[in-house]
Structure 1
Amino acid sequence: MVLSVIIVNYNVKYFLEQCLLSVYKAGSNIDMEVIVVDNNSTDGSTAYIQRKFPRAVYHVIKENLGFAKACNYGLQLSQGTHILFLNPDTILPEDSLEKCIQFLDTHTDAGALGVRMLDGSGNFLKESKRGKPSLTTTFFKLTGLSSLFPRSTFFAKYYLTNIGEYQTSAVDILPGAFMMIKKNVLDITGSFDEVFFMYGEDIDLSYRIQQAGFENYYLPEVSIIHFKGESTQKESFRYVYTFYNAMSIFVSKHYKGSKGAIYRFMINAAILLRYLLSIINKIISKIIRVIKRLIFPGKQNGLLHTAGPLVLTGSPETIANAESIVKDAGFSVIMPEEETTRTTKQTYTVVYCEGERMSFGQIIKQLDETKPCNAMIYAWGSTSIVGSPGRNKRGETISYPSSSL
């Protein structure tokens, strides 16, 4: 077995559906197995995914054990010489897996590999490549200076701004959203530390891979979509606390003495500061939602960001299916693609329909080049349309009412 793809699912069955459709196309010429570990989802994921993807190994854990434990559970079931830990809210191009495996196999110093990630609107996700946490990089990130000066080689060291977005390079930290690792390397380093419930486990494992003498590579030749924000709202205090608590665990594990004490003090101060900011952000978000409802008083189908008409583009054989889903969900206005040029002042959402004439790779390329404000994706054979308007926004789905059963 060449490749084992391990995906942890928690209440994101429609995103997982699109993800699996892309994974199986990307692995069509690879001796591959797909292992889905379900962290006690309550959205009907088990029956829905098992019915649609009988080839996948699907295991349900009776409680939410967190990302690290679930990944390790999947790893115990795996047989591949290469292991890919993959988030369920991702979409891969058809040639991605072969390129990644070839890169790892031709670079003897490589232990793990990550790729160039885009959010649901085609914007580059800077966490695709990160530097090792240090006192200065942590301070700049916690205080927000790295966000205020994202292109600074001094303030934004955490995101390795000295390494170009399209530059293949060894980096310190790879994201757990897409992390391909040689199995023999994991045999040496061990897998994710289960003390991490969510967040921080990828930083810890990347660090241990380096400590074992291997390199973590960033491969921008491969671009994927990572919708982000689907399972967790980044503005919430729960996210803030969970993330920075994970950082505190990492510091306690790898930094001792006075340096570790300073680190922990900074993190605790950041938790308090970000808590206050999250309250302010929550208030502002509520105001924005009220304004949007006033501007778009029509039926919104529960979607906060998808407004105006839906423009279907892509493979003709799949557009009809996507149109049926849209109409069944209550969206009555669907604009033909050619009409958008005459209504540039009107807000609309582009639905990319994957099929024979528009591949996942072509969709990702179009998102990368055009970066539409509102975009969603429909994959041939699915019963849902998924999207996310930004890295910090919750994911959105349109589906047949019957598909939720």
Structure 2
Amino acid sequence: MQLSVIILNYNVRYFLELCVLSVENALKNIDSEIIVVDNNSQDGSCEMIKTRFPNVKLIQNNQNSGFPKGNNIGVAEAKGEYLCILNPDTVVAEDTFEKVLAFAKNKNDLGIVGVKLVDGTGNFLPESKRGIPTPWVAFTKIMSLYKIFPKSNLFNNYYAQHLSENQTGKVEILVGAFMFLKKELYQEVGGFDEDCFMYSDDIDLSYMVLQKGKSNYYFHETTVIHYKGESTNKDAVYMKRFQEAMEFFYKKHFQVSFLFSVFMKIGIVFFSMLKRVQGRAKTKIPPENYLLVSASKTLSEIISLVVQKKVDFLDWEAEKEVNLLSNSIRNGLHIILDNEFVSFKECIAIHERCKNKGVFFRIIPKNANFSIGSDSPNDRGEIVKLK
């Protein structure tokens, strides 16, 4: 078997459904398997997988075992030569895995491959590619020096700014939302360190792979949506775990002075408090305008009844051109993409092409009765039932 996709889920049932649907479509031409590991969700996630995706291997844990252990459990059952560790709040294109596999097979020094990640508004997520958070690099991050001096090699290592978002190349650290590597290598480094509950586990795995003499790569030729806010509820528990995770990484890999440890502790607390503020739910203003991109005029009428507003219609089967959306865009517009007719690759392309134009996006998964999306990487997403 070529590839095993491991998806660790915890209480994100609707995002998981969207994710697994996109992964199934992307694996049609690959000898592969999907393994969903559920960390004791209470939202019907497991029932949904059993009903809608009977061919998916489901592992049900009786407790929330954390990100590292949950993924290690999934990998232990994997039969693929390659692994993809994938977050449940992601959407992959139909050709994502084919492209990444082809890239990986041409690398003799293959470590981990990461891809271009965008949020639910189509904006690039800079954590798609990062440098090792050495004490100095962490300092430049906490003090935002990388923003003040973005072109300086001295300050721009945290987000690997030697590469642009549209440039493939070697990087040091990749994000756990999408990590593609050989199973043999994963096992050689011992997988995710289960002493770290979450938040520095991907940094640690990336770093251990580098220590084996392998190279990690950022691959920009495929884009994956990562809604992000679904993976992390930025409350007091988040602050505590984020702080513990960074302390874990430094104690494991770096010898630092007591003075620097004190500084880092202060910085970590400040940074995690900032994340908590960013993660607070914001008051959402109901949209005034809706545009359904589909080939079903009837669906626009159904949605209109649900949202109690007129829903404009763009016949994607007749037009099938991203540029035509520009004529309909206006501030506050909610673009609803019907996956029955709009492929996941096209959905992602529309997100990227229409970003920063004051519009918001929702996807209706094929054969589903809900729309789903997120308006910020810091907020929980929105699910609207259509029936």
Give the TM-score, by structure 2 length: 0.89
Give, in angstroms, the shift of residue 276 of structure 1. 5.5
Give, in angstroms, the shift of residue 150 of structure 1. 5.2
- How many angstroms apart in 2 are the aligned matches of 1:25 and 1:73? 24
Give, in angstroms, the shift of residue 395 of structure 1. 1.4
Residue equivalent to 1:354: 339
Residue equivalent to 1:55: 55
- How many angstroms apart in 2 are the aligned matches of 1:78 and 1:135? 36
Q: 1:68-115: per-residue Cα shift (whole Å, max 9, x none)? A: 110000011111000000000100111110111111111111121000
Give, in angstroms, the shift of residue 280 of structure 1. 6.3
**Residue 244 (structure 1) aligned with residue 252 (structure 2):** no
Give, in angstroms, the shift of residue 305 of structure 1. 5.8
Q: 1:23-71: per-residue Cα shift (whole Å, max 9, x none)? A: 0110000111100011111111111221010010111111111111100
Q: 1:212-231: per-residue Cα shift (whole Å, max 9, x none)? A: 01111110011111111113
| Root-mean-square deviation (Å) | 2.5
Q: Which residue identity lines up with residue 316 of structure 1 in the other structure?
A: A
Residue equivalent to 1:159: 159
- Mapping for residues 109-124 of structure 1, pairs under 5 Å: 109-124=109-124
The 1:277/1:170 distance shift into structure 2, 3 A limit, reads closer
Q: Which residue identity lines up with residue 249 of structure 1 in the other structure?
A: F
Give, in angstroms, the shift of residue 7 of structure 1. 0.3
- How many angstroms apart in 2 are the aligned matches of 1:170 and 1:66? 29
Give, in angstroms, the shift of residue 124 of structure 1. 0.6
The 1:175/1:308 distance shift into structure 2, 3 A limit, reads same
The 1:275/1:35 distance shift into structure 2, 3 A limit, reads closer
Residue equivalent to 2:267: 270
Residue equivalent to 2:307: 331
Residue equivalent to 1:205: 205
The 1:148/1:29 distance shift into structure 2, 3 A limit, reads same
Identity %: 37
- How many angstroms apart in 1 are the aligned matches of 2:340 and 2:277? 43
Q: Which residue identity lines up with residue 270 of structure 2 in the other structure?
A: L
- How many angstroms apart in 2 are the aligned matches of 1:392 and 1:279? 9
Residue equivalent to 1:384: 370
**Residue 310 (structure 1) aligned with residue 286 (structure 2):** no
The 1:323/1:270 distance shift into structure 2, 3 A limit, reads farther
Q: 1:187-233: per-residue Cα shift (whole Å, max 9, x none)? A: 32121001111111110000011100111111001111111111324
Kept in 2, the 8 Å contact 1:112–1:180? The answer is yes
The 1:335/1:160 distance shift into structure 2, 3 A limit, reads same
- How many angstroms apart in 1 are the aligned matches of 2:233 and 2:149? 23
SS of 1:267's equivalent?
A: helix
Kept in 1, the 8 Å contact 2:304–2:311? The answer is no
The 1:252/1:151 distance shift into structure 2, 3 A limit, reads same
Residue equivalent to 1:366: 350
Which deviates the most, 68-77 or 272-281? 272-281
Residue equivalent to 1:292: none
The 1:322/1:82 distance shift into structure 2, 3 A limit, reads farther
The 1:163/1:387 distance shift into structure 2, 3 A limit, reads same
The 1:4/1:320 distance shift into structure 2, 3 A limit, reads farther
The 1:335/1:105 distance shift into structure 2, 3 A limit, reads same
- How many angstroms apart in 1 are the aligned matches of 2:204 and 2:351? 32
Q: 1:123-150: per-residue Cα shift (whole Å, max 9, x none)? A: 0111110001112210121233335555
Kept in 1, the 8 Å contact 2:93–2:224? The answer is yes
Which deviates the most, 36-45 or 134-143? 134-143
- How many angstroms apart in 2 are the aligned matches of 1:191 and 1:279? 29
Give the TM-score, by structure 1 length: 0.86
The 1:24/1:322 distance shift into structure 2, 3 A limit, reads farther
Q: Which residue identity lines up with residue 244 of structure 1 in the other structure?
A: Q
Residue equivalent to 2:319: none
Aligned length: 376
Q: Which residue identity lines up with residue 332 of structure 1 in the other structure?
A: Q
- Mapping for residues 274-313 of structure 1, pairs under 5 Å: 274=271, 277=274, 289=283, 304=284, 307-313=287-293
- How many angstroms apart in 2 are the aligned matches of 1:171 and 1:221? 15
SS of 1:380's equivalent?
A: coil
Give, in angstroms, the shift of residue 151 of structure 1. 5.8
Kept in 1, the 8 Å contact 2:239–2:269? The answer is no
Kept in 2, the 8 Å contact 1:375–1:388? The answer is yes
Q: Which residue identity lines up with residue 360 of structure 1 in the other structure?
A: F
Which deviates the most, 336-345 or 7-16? 336-345
